[in-house]
Chain A
Amino acid sequence: SLLQAEPPQLSQPPLPAEGLQPSQHLRDPPGLPHPIVPLSRPVPPPGAAWQWGSAAHSWGLLRCWVGKWGDRRVHQFEKMSPALPSHLVPPLQDIRNTVGNIPMEWYQDFPHIGYNLDGKKIYKPIRNKDELDMFLEKMENPDYWRTVQDKMTGADIKLTDEQVDLVHRLQRGQFGDVHFDPYEPAVDFFTHEVMIHPVTNRPADKRSFIPSLIEKEKVSKLVHAIKMGWIKPRKPKDDTPTYYDLWAHEDPNSILGRHKMHVPAPKMKLPGHEESYNPPPEYLLSEEEKLAWEQQEPAERKLNFVPQQFRCLRAVPAYSRFIHERFERCLDLYLCPRQRKMRVNVDPEDLIPKLPKPRDLQPFPTTQALVYRGHTSLVRCLSISPSGQWLVSGSDDCTVRFWEVCTARCMKTLPVGGVVKSVAWNPNPTICLVAICVEQSVLLVNPCLGDKLLYGATDQVLESYVPPEEERVQPVQWVTATPEEHSKGIRLVVQHSKAVKQVTWHGKGDYFASVVADNSNMQVLIHQTSKRWSQNPFRKSKGLVQCVLFHPIRPYFFVATQRYVRVYNLLKQELTKKLMSNCKWVSSMAIHPGGDNIICGSYDSKLAWFDLDLSTRPYQLLRHHKKALRSVAFHKHYPLFASGSDDGTVIVCHGMVYNDLLQNPLLVPVKVLKGHAITLDLGVLDVLFHPTQPWVFSSGADGTIRLYT
């Protein structure tokens, strides 16, 4: 019988279809003393918003539950809820539990289940029913389905018929009160219709039937204003409509934009023979062709249909691809490009500035003519005699060589015992003297080349020096060469405290300047050969000096630091100008023989041309070289300048300077001269122009000097 027994919950009517089973629920611990526990979440009745009066009535019961959850003042509460039926209150003894809203499992292992109002333990009822007893009770007790266990006291409570009915009503979502009608007709206090009787019976005010003084005043003001003409009557509205002639200003003969831009719709291909219902046999596909057509991708097919032959036009069936084709046609029209591409019709030739052609700017060096071989290491510096017959070169192989220009013959080799950083031939044609930078000293060498009278005279000038009476403090030491050195040509040695990196002569040939690789104010020194006297022109160091230059005509002195070129007036002893080079690191500098233009080469492969009259910024920045510039040079007579770079090329440019101050210099690159092999990432180290001919010399890291003519 146990096995046959159905679950009691299901067997018991009346149970809601989807609702919670009351016996189960009542056995679960919701923590409520009241038997009607499952209403943990009171659902507001429908229509509560507008029927608060009756809602208050039905809410009375619910509120008392909430109040029960919120605090435990049960007595008060019970008194407040007259709606509670009196039979729900335990009649004899109040065994209400005072433990509060705690999980009742905590009392699982105790014999009691809590404490009553008097502080006495409430003992659990003796329950020793086993499963069989429970089953028997379920089978035999007809009120089993309406028996619930009070969790707080552990006692079984049998629900009355009213309570069961209430549970059912609430489960169905109905109001607890049977007599409450949620759908009562509403009665308005006021009606929207106009009634014959007023709402109030109050007599009208006096002011409602005597004329208003304020209004009279306002009206008289308005009347006065109208009389005075301050207020004018409204203008009658002109109701003739206004139109704008959009096309009034249009030239009737002009082609309108939309017509100009007219793009005709793509035309459909006209049907051909293959589309005929009875095409000639050569248009019909053979079996293989048909197979091939089927295997092709639809996009790749030459025809998008298979030509078919019909006996007569009547036999032609409806065209199955009609919709498809119409759709594709629509796509064609829709995707057809409607915008004509506007191309800017500019001749690229027009964008190039008008420069004369290089061959109109002849003469300039074009081909390599001679190679001066002999140095075994990189040739750092070059200089040429004022007559243009001799060339001097200094190299890292610790020698200085003198060459005959026209035959590339090495006339003399002078070992100097150190890397030669710079050489400079005295520009005065009556003095035959070469200044050579070797480590910490500047050697003044008489090469004994050319006119005997000249170099004899030079020696005489040097020997005729008479030392002054009192010793003067000098930043350097002037030492006369030993006889051994004298036989080699060395006449004077100017010993500096640090390594010398550049030497340059003044145009008159008496003064020369040397640059010392130092960071102090002793970087630049100016020496006078005839008096053997040196001075330090600068009190302060303004940065690492790269190179210095004398102005060819005026008493100016140019000092190039890494970023700037400063121009000093030697007579007034002041800074005249400061040129911003716009380069990162100036490597070399050359001055136009006219003296108003300077070019600066920099290690960031730029060449800056300064016009001293124009601005302190470069007039032009030429970026022809691919690598760092090592040297720049101007020609003495021809409008040429050249730059040598680490990329192994010499670029010769035409740089015409006009006497007319209004005309800017004309700079045209005319020739790229190649020839030097790149050694140790170094290409051309120095460039130099011949003093009279349009020839350029370049010395390279490959140990050669090349002459381009």
Chain B
Amino acid sequence: MAQLTARFRTENRRYAVEDVPFSVPAASETTDLSRLINKLLAAADADHKYVEFDFLINGQFLRMPLVTHMETENISTEEVVEIEYVEKYMAPQPEECIFHDDWISSVQATEEWILTGCYDQTARIWSLEGKSIMTVAGHTEVVKDVAWVKQDSLSCLLLSASMDQTILLWEWNVEKNKVKALHCCRGHAGSVDSVAVDCTGTKFCSGSWDKMLKIWSAVPTDEEDEMEEAANRPRKKQKTEQLGLTRTPLATLSGHTEAVSSVLWSDAEEICSASWDHTIKLWDAETGDLKSTLTGNKVFNSVSYSPLCRRLASGSTDRHIRLWDPRSKDGSLVLLSLTSHTGWVTSVKWSPTHEHQLISGSLDNIVKLWDTRSCKAPLYDLAAHEDKVLCVDWTEAGVRI
């Protein structure tokens, strides 16, 4: 079969073409189709610039010749094929490389700054251009996770969780470029591996090696919470005084049987936690009840939730990234499994802007950009790192060691 009849459709008004069936060669690939669309657009609009397109048939990206794709997907070649096209997402390039002198355990980016937690017991703030602005030192152990709480033009609140079993709430004065520890959140009995701030910025949740999740208030106050055994530990108290006021958790969620590796707020009322006991648990933040449990068969390293497509993505100690639907009650349904990494997937993150895209970092030194519409292979491999990738975040592929 040499020719196929196809109809082209797009969401983007800018690149719309006539809704007429075209006869295209069956063996044509994305570049051929892209050339065809560009020709059509150039005929309609004289000052059209060449744009590379990507093509979707029934929600699946076209990655091979048209006819083989339709054979593998069992689409009849007799009828008119509806092909959707979108502007091709160009390969991201590493723009900036920020060098730490030690391993970076975590990264979180905003519009202006990047916050990183480092194995040299500090957290650092960087500008988007890669300039080091501030070093936040105060922990006595490795900083495992960092998070922004609130960002103003004057002062920012940020969190750093460490292996020394505390979370420190810092206030960073942007103008004076000074940082001050407001609160020292103590209560965990193991290293705190993960923190997450809820969308209102008033509460945050932490997950620790001691199998507990704790919810804390993120609002800075002046009064110190009562510490039960303060009298027994004069030496500890000294440290506490240096680092700000002690704060105790609002609630403790226990239920995991192994270390909690990742927490996040899926919405204002719901906490999602991934653990080494092969489960992802969803909690009600108000009551502290367990809502549902998703059980896998490998240790989960990382979990991410996209409000756009309402799915959870998890990275685990095998090579796969799995997509879950948190609303399903039976809890064991894997929607999709993305396989291309060769090492543990340490970190996954959904795109905040795009419904289908997510990024993953793995111990095989590669960051991969995925589109859920092509589950066989990632869109791009970002192989800029020379050692293990521990954490990824969007806005910039700002992950490095």
Contacts and interface: CB of A to CB of B under 8 A. Distances in A.
Interface of A: 362-363, 367, 369-370, 387, 389, 406-409, 411, 450-453, 692-693, 709
B107 to A, nearest CB: 15
Interface size range of chain B in the complex: 20 to 34
A-B pairs with the 4 shortest C-beta distances? A451-B189, A709-B317, A369-B344, A389-B209
Contacts of B301: 406
A452 B209 CA distance: 13
A302 B222 CA distance: 113
| Secondary structure class of chain A's binding surface, majority of residues | loop
A389 B318 contact: no
Nearest to B209: A389
A409 B103 contact: yes
A412 to B, nearest CB: 11
A369 B343 contact: yes
A408 B317 contact: no
A363 B297 contact: yes
A411 B141 CA distance: 10
Contact of A692 (B103, B258, B343): B258
Given A362-B297, A450-B190, A451-B189, A409 B119 contact: yes
Nearest to B342: A367
Contacts of B209: 387, 389
A408 B344 contact: no
A535 to B, nearest CB: 36
Given A369-B343, A370-B344, A709-B317, A451 B259 contact: no
Contacts of A709: 298-299, 317-318, 344
Contacts of B390: 407
A450 B298 CA distance: 24
B97 to A, nearest CB: 21
Contacts of A450: 190-191
A452 B233 CA distance: 12
Nearest to A408: B388
B270 interface: no
Given A369-B317, A369-B363, 14 more contacts: A363-B298, A367-B319, A370-B363, A387-B190, A387-B209, A407-B105, A408-B388, A451-B189, A451-B210, A692-B258, A692-B276, A693-B299, A709-B298, A709-B318
Interface in B368-401: 388, 390
Contacts of A408: 388
A406 B261 CA distance: 10
Given A370-B344, A409-B119, A451 B297 contact: no
Contacts of B298: 363, 709
B325 interface: no
A450 B164 CA distance: 8
Interface string B292-329: 00000111010000000000000001110000000000
A642 to B, nearest CB: 18
Contacts of A389: 190-191, 209, 259
Contacts of B142: 409, 411
Contacts of B297: 362-363
Contacts of A692: 258, 276
Contacts of A370: 344, 363
Nearest to A411: B142
Contacts of B34: none
B318 A452 contact: no
Contacts of B190: 387, 389, 450-451
B165 interface: yes
B27 to A, nearest CB: 38
Contacts of A406: 261, 301
Nearest to B166: A452
Contacts of A452: 164-165, 236
A414 B174 CA distance: 41
Interface in B276-294: 276
A281 B236 CA distance: 118
Contacts of A411: 142
Interface-central residue, A367, A407, A450, by most chain B CB under 10 Å:
A407
A354 B191 CA distance: 46
Interface string B56-68: 0000000000000
11 contacts: A367-B318, A369-B344, A369-B363, A389-B191, A407-B103, A407-B105, A408-B388, A409-B103, A411-B142, A451-B165, A709-B298
Nearest to A451: B189
Nearest to A452: B165
Interface string B134-155: 0000000010000000000000
A407 B103 CA distance: 10
B212 to A, nearest CB: 12
Interface in B167-214: 189-191, 209-210
A367 B276 CA distance: 18
Contacts of B103: 407, 409
Contacts of A367: 318-319
B343 to A, nearest CB: 7
Interface in B211-250: 236
B276 A693 contact: yes
A300 B6 CA distance: 69
A579 B34 CA distance: 76
Contacts of B119: 409
Interface-central residue, A369, A406, A709, by most chain B CB under 10 Å:
A406
Nearest to A709: B317
Contacts of A369: 317, 343-344, 363
Contacts of B318: 367, 709
A436 to B, nearest CB: 22
Contacts of A407: 103, 105, 388, 390
A362 B276 CA distance: 17
B259 to A, nearest CB: 7
A640 to B, nearest CB: 15
B314 to A, nearest CB: 15
A316 B305 CA distance: 103
Interface string B97-116: 00000010100000000000
